[in-house]
């Protein structure tokens, strides 16, 4: 049930119930005493209190119940209509237990208040009939609230399911498009790369000076081919292919050492279960970071830190390469891919030169522990 601002409909219902209760109270015969004024005030207050029933269903339940007991004790034989509205609102909001407790108390106190004021005959048959009627109305109000609450829950679940289905289909379509683009670009770049390689080879064979532009095209083709291969590996990392995770990070570090890089791995905290998406993303961050270090950083050392915290997983990769605080890094495909992965999981990525020289990549991934 919504808890938005009080609207015209809320006030209309509250004023309507208050007017009905007050009219019913005025139609009865009463002596002009202070109890009459108290009763009229309780009738009006109980009805007007319904204006905030959506924002504060439990307090309204209590207030309308006390008002009903109060005007019954003051000698007003008026049904507890406002309390029935409050029961409906409270059950619809999900407060079933407290509504049942309050209603049982009301069923016990209302007859006592009515008998104390001399409103009703104390005969057993009349008391039983009135009690049965009150119980029936309370059950009806509670059942109506519960039925609408369940209907709203089913509607919310259906909407959530539709959103998840649409998101999944969008992801599948995006993956399909990315794969198609990759296949197409791979072919075109391969053609450019081969033609550049042949042109350089022929020029060198003839003893001619190779133009710098041609060498640049050849190197760009090689780099683009490497980037596309890395992208294809990510795209094909689906359920049909066993995915890599944090358990495979030591292999990445060991592989980096074989290239001459002094790489070390530090693990802090206690490993606990985490979503598969977080596990895969952490692996990809380490993989891409070490790859960038090997290709671009001209570094001699690198450190990989994995910190398992209760609600977050922190991955940090540092190197002592040529990056400086004054050099603005140009984000490549790998860095952009890392940022997209981290952002999709609700995390934060920091990738920038270090003050002491070199580059740092730090990712913070939220983790929901599974019991």
User: Tens digit of pLDDT for each residue in 191-245?
Assistant: 777 788 888 888 888 888 878 877 778 777 777 777 666 666 665 555 444 567 8
User: Tens digit of pLDDT for each residue in 12-54?
Assistant: 888 888 888 888 878 766 555 567 778 888 888 888 888 888 8
**What is the average pLDDT score of the chain?**
80
In the block, which residue shows the tokens 């710098």?
212
The pLDDT of residue 313: 94
The pLDDT of residue 285: 92
């Amino acid at each position: 049930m919504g808890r938005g601002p009080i609207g015209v409909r809320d006030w209309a219902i509250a004023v309507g119930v208050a007017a009905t209760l007050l009219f019913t109270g005025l139609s009865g015969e009463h002596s002009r005493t202070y109890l009459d004024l108290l009763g009229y005030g309780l009738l009006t207050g109980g009805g007007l209190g319904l204006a905030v029933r959506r924002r504060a269903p439990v307090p309204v339940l209590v207030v309308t119940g006390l008002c009903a007991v109060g005007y019954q004790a003051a000698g007003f034989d008026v049904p507890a209509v406002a309390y029935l509205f409050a029961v409906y609102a409270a059950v619809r909001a999900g407060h079933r237990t407290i509504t049942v407790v309050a209603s049982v108390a009301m069923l016990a106190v209302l007859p006592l208040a009515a008998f104390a004021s001399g409103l009703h005959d104390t005969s057993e048959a009349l008391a039983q009939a009135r009690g049965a009627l009150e119980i029936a109305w309370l059950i009806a109000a509670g059942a109506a609230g519960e039925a609408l609450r369940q209907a709203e829950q089913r509607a919310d679940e259906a909407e959530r399911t539709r959103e998840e289905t649409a998101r999944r289909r969008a992801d599948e379509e995006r993956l399909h498009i990315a794969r198609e683009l990759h296949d197409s670009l791979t072919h075109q770049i391969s053609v450019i790369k081969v033609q550049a390689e042949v042109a350089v080879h022929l020029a060198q064979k003839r003893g001619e000076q190779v133009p710098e532009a041609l060498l640049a095209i050849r190197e760009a083709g090689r780099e683009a081919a490497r980037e596309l291969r890395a992208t294809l590996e990510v795209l094909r990392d689906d359920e049909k292919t066993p995915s890599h995770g944090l358990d495979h990070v030591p292999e990445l570090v060991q592989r980096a050492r074989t290239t001459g890089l002094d790489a070390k791995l530090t693990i802090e905290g206690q490993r606990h279960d985490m979503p598969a998406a977080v596990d895969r993303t952490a692996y990809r961050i380490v993989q891409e970071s070490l790859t960038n270090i090997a290709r671009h950083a001209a570094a001699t050392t690198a450190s990989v830190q994995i910190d398992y915290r209760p609600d977050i997983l922190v991955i940090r990769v540092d190197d002592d390469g040529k990056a400086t605080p004054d050099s603005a890094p140009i984000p490549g495909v790998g860095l952009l891919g890392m940022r997209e992965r981290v952002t999709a999981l609700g995390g934060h990525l920091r990738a920038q030169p270090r003050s002491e020289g070199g580059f740092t990549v730090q990712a913070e991934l939220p983790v929901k522990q599974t019991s």
